[in-house]
Amino acid sequence: MEIRIPYGKEKQRLEIEEAYLNGVLVSQIEDYHPDKSQSELVAAALERPEGSAKLCQLAIGKQKIVIIASDHTRPVPSKIIMPLMLSEIRKGNPAAEITILIATGFHRLTTREELIGKFGEAIVDQERIVVHDSGDDNSLVKIGTLPSGGELIINRLAAEADLLVSEGFIEPHFFAGFSGGRKSVLPGIASRVSVLANHCGEFIAHPKARTGVIEGNPLHIDMLYAARTAKLAFVVNVVINSEKEVIYAVAGDCDAAHIKGRTFLEGLCKVQATPSDIVITSNGGYPLDQNIYQAVKGMTAAEAAVKPGGVIIMLAKSNDGHGGAAFFNTFRDEKNLEQMLAGFVNTPRDETIPDQWEAQILARILLKAKVIYISAAPDDMIEEFQMTPAGDVQEALAMARDYLNKEAATVTVIPDGVAVIVE
């Protein structure tokens, strides 16, 4: 059987004997075909918002309007969403001073070239765009205290806006339950202080901090509080397929619209685990597989499907390298995974180490299964993360079988690990 797995902007081909294949876990999103175009779906959502007045009505009388937009690591189809949001705002208030604020969260800053790829040259040249920097204290202001006790510090432009809105997309998220909605504020435009408090070891270890779980998820509770406190008044969120095309759109109140969107998504992307000796997955290709840091997300889907002591084969181009110096240094400096995890859980919330959440989850995965990692990153970098580098998926499969000393090892394939909720 031939299966094509996303890798960067291309796909790698896997050929596997069907006798050993336990299953191919894919979201039903690919079987869902809307009766409207992408632009029509977003326009319809703007016309019928959930729990809110229309965006054009909210814009009336508002001078400073800030639109939070996702950064280069998210495949949000902003070329479709942003022009419609700008038009809607200006329909209600032609004189509004609009700023597009790029929600980089804890990521590196987005480049001009990446902004052009995201929005197109016209918007980049004609609109005011500011890239959020979570470490620039001069651009940040405290607006409250999170339910968890951490300080809530966000970008000053957002805090001082007369109207704060956002665009984004909804997908399963490996510790926040789902992306989108409230996440535009925390971690999107929050200070590193607030992100670290929210992403603490205690919360990441919480049994409710898992893919597809919202109720009782301590990270979600903080995130929704942050969005409400920042007065995030309106969101436009979409669900996309593997081709990064809009198949569903919601708009309105940051929680009500998100509930509607994630309910739709949940109905399509839940899959039943088929425990196997080997699980092959990816991060869905570009732009989510640009670094090792982001690739941990896709690995959690494989974690839920692999047998203890088995092998996870992860395809992630990682042309940006590790994606976080602190994340890399944690694995470089501590080789005992049990001690690493214990240290994270026992670290006080206000002393959280940058990127420790990603290291914590990767360490948890590595304690369950060996990881063979296919990428463009240097082999020695992959090895520092206690993973084994491989050139392509066929080579990795042969390596996995050799490691298990089991030619008839069972295999589960999850072509896009960030697109499914594995139960």
Show which residues are catalytic: 107, 173
First-last CA distance in the chain: 25
**Preceding amide of 187 cis, omega within 30:** yes
283's tokens: 């991060």
Q: Residues with Cβ < 8 Å from 327, sequence gap 6 or more?
A: 292, 293, 354, 355, 358, 359
- Within 10 A of 408 (CB to CB), how many other CB atoms are there? 10
Q: Which of 275, 241, 247 is nearest to 418 (CA)?
A: 241
Helix axes 356-368, 337-345, angle to 10 degrees: 140
103 and 235 Cβ atoms separated by less than 8 Å: no
Question: Nearest to residue 301, comparing CAs of 349, 256, 269?
Answer: 269
H or E element at residue 414:
strand 411-414
DSSP state at residue 108: P
Element (H, E) at 364: helix 356-368
The tokens of 70 are what? 């996702």
